[in-house]
């Protein structure tokens, strides 16, 4: 008997229309845990390689490019913004492409290819244009990874488990945010650039293997449909993903965490049949008339603005206030990310149990005093550095809670539109487009954050800069109270 070739057995891209021969490891490669882990590793890699160079950017600009000292802050902010701006442009394209091809895996791998090229250019680049182009490629990669990854998660676990899943994934990816600046600072100081980028290439290899092996559940169903005992070849959608049972997981793994669903007036989500041509090409557009969805996107935008602000200012504050080295600057990211790592799943669980409104309002309200207190540290020795670290830790608690509500709320709103208008959205629904839009908005925040923080820090000082961010959080908390999770009862009665 002739053995099939390795390529045919693995069938890593599932581009064939022949589903008569099941690929190697179909059961575990399409298992919920493996799919979610692959998405988690992909997002982790993106955040890790993004954060790896953050604490050494000032030193790269000074040592490799020769940028004058008084221009380093503006160029650091510009390089951070270049990453985000590229993601803004690419995210909607990634969403549209993902909804029009048969599998999510191919664009997932395209994003990884862009990240590999970007990492090589950052390693060898010695001019500002090369470094800027590398950051642009990183932004393109992020657009594909976050758009495809979140859509794949929703299709795999269903909307009722999304909060817990997103919270856990964000907690895991926060490890990248947490340790990447620290590792980058340590390796730069001890080994130079080869050590910094060597670990980056190693993580890329692991990421590639997992992305190449993963098989989506809807693709696995097509292979199973060739079995005479199989009853359906229907694609998996977020609407029915929660009702499916993974053959390798306990029967209760996908049970809803939210309890009985609230009954919504379907008429409120019914779209007019007279939609412009562009709405049929990009079905997510009519959903943007919903204030809940717009507020959910605003929450993501403000979250990214805060993250970009911290990334742009912590290294320069560490250098200016405390004369820290790259290693010591990296250590300052540790308290900021530690609580994000520890509390991410807790806040995700709270979103599933308590709803998006309670978590979004409370965490944004909490961030108001946390950010205002960042005006306390000033130039000085170790005591001031310790105070700064403690205040960054307090800010990290708030940052841990503002990610899951946005994604879960946006998915819930679009789910209601999908259920009310199945003929308009088709079998797949506009979920990849939704997460492409979410990625675009998030990246816009990452674009604005470094520029806003860098300019304000130099114009009015670090303390007043954080006071402005605190004010933005206060306004966001108010909007979340009004719109996220539906209007509160006291407003509905009026």
Buried b or exposed e, range 384-418, using 16+ CB within 10 angstroms? ebebbbebbbbbbbbbbbbbbbbbbbbbbbbbbbb
Around 132, how many Cα atoms within 13 Å sit in the side-chain half-sphere? 10
Token pair 């960054």 is found at: 392
Domain count, the chain: 1
Written as one string, the DSSP assignment of 405-472 is: HHHHHHHHHHHHHHHH-HHHHTTT-SHHHHHHHHHHHHHHHHHHHHHHHHHHHHHH-HHHHHHHHHHH
Judged against a pLDDT cut of 70, whether residue 244 lies above it is answered with no
Q: Is the pTM of this model over 0.75?
A: no
Tokens of residue 245, six digits = 């049972």
User: CA dist 199 to 49, 183, 196, 377, Å?
Assistant: 9, 9, 6, 34
Classify residue 326: in a domain, yes or no: yes
Written as one string, the DSSP assignment of 381-407 is: SHHHHHHHHHHHHHHHHHHHTSSHHHH
Other C-beta atoms closer than 10 Å to the C-beta of 334 total: 16
Classify residue 75: in a domain, yes or no: yes
Tell which wins on pLDDT, 375 or 258: 375
Instruction: Tell me if 12 sits within 8 A of 202, measured CB to CB.
Output: no
First to last CA, the chain: 77
Judged against a pLDDT cut of 90, whether residue 235 lies above it is answered with no
Which of the listed ranges 127-136, 150-159, 264-273, 316-325 does the model predict with the highest average pLDDT?
127-136
Task: Report, as an integer, the average pLDDT of 352-371.
Answer: 92
pLDDT band (50, 70, 90) for residue 160: low
Tokens of residue 89, six digits = 């442009």
Lowest-confidence range among 14-28, 47-61, 287-301, 363-377?
Answer: 14-28
CATH number at residue 394: 1.20.1250.20
Judged against a pLDDT cut of 50, whether residue 251 lies above it is answered with no
Classify residue 273: in a domain, yes or no: no
H or E stretch covering 291: helix 291-322
Which of the listed ranges 35-49, 56-70, 358-372, 394-408 does the model predict with the highest average pLDDT?
358-372
Classify residue 478: in a domain, yes or no: yes
Instruction: Tell me if 167 sits within 8 A of 351, measured CB to CB.
Output: yes
Classify residue 65: in a domain, yes or no: yes
Classify residue 226: in a domain, yes or no: no
- pLDDT score of 477: 95
Distance CA 127, CA 118 (A): 14
pLDDT band (50, 70, 90) for residue 16: low
- Among 474, 73, 56, which residue's Cα sits nearest to residue 309? 73
Classify residue 231: in a domain, yes or no: no
- pLDDT score of 465: 93
Task: Report, as an integer, the average pLDDT of 64-91.
Answer: 81
Range of the domain at 359: 23-220+281-492
């Amino acid at each position: 008997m002739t053995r099939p070739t390795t390529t045919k057995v693995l069938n890593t891209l599932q581009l064939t229309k022949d589903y008569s021969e099941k690929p190697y490891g179909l059961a575990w490669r399409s298992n919920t845990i493996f799919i979610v882990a692959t998405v988690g590793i992909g997002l982790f890699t993106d955040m890790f390689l993004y954060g790896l160079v953050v604490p050494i950017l000032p030193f790269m600009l000074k040592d490799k490019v020769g940028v004058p000292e008084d221009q380093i802050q503006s160029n650091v902010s510009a390089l951070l913004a270049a990453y985000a701006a590229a993601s803004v442009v690419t995210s909607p394209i990634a969403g549209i492409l993902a909804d029009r091809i048969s599998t999510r895996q191919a664009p997932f791998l395209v994003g990884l290819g862009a990240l590999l090229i970007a990492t090589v250019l950052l390693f060898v680049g010695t001019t500002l244009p090369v470094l800027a182009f590398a950051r642009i490629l990183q932004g393109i990669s992020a657009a594909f990874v976050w758009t495809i990854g979140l859509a794949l998660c929703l299709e795999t676990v269903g909307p009722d488990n999304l909060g817990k899943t997103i919270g856990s994934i964000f907690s895991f990816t926060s490890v990248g945010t947490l340790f990447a600046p620290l590792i980058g600072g340590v390796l730069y100081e001890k080994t130079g650039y080869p050590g910094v980028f060597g670990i980056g290439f190693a993580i890329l290899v692991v990421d590639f293997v997992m992305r190449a092996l993963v098989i989506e559940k809807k693709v696995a169903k097509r292979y199973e449909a060739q079995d005479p005992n199989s009853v359906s070849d229907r694609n998996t959608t977020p609407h029915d993903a929660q009702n499916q049972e993974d053959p390798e997981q306990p029967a209760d793994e996908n049970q809803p965490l939210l309890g009985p669903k609230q009954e919504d007036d379907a008429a409120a989500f019914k779209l007019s049949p007279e939609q412009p041509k562009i709405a049929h090409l990009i079905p997510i557009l009519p959903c943007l008339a919903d204030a809940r969805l717009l507020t959910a996107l605003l929450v993501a935008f403000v979250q990214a603005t805060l993250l970009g602000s911290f990334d742009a200012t912590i290294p320069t504050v560490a250098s200016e206030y405390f004369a820290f080295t790259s290693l010591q600057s990296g250590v300052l990211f540790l308290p900021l990310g530690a609580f994000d790592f520890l509390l991410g799943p807790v806040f995700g669980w709270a979103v599933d149990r308590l709803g998006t409104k309670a978590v979004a309002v409370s965490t944004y309200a909490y961030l108001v005093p946390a950010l205002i207190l960042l005006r306390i540290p000033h130039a000085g020795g170790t005591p001031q550095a310790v105070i700064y670290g403690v205040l960054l830790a307090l800010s990290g608690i708030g940052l841990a809670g503002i990610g899951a509500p946005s994604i879960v709320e946006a998915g819930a709103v679009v789910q209601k539109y999908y259920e009310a208008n199945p003929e308009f959205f088709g079998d797949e629904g506009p979920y990849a487009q939704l997460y492409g839009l979410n990625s675009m908005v998030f990246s816009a925040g990452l674009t604005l954050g470094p520029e806003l923080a860098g300019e304000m820090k130099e114009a009015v000082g670090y303390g007043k800069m954080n006071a402005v961010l605190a004010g933005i959080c206060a306004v966001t908390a108010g909007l979340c109270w009004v719109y996220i999770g539906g209007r509160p009862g006291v407003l509905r009665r009026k």
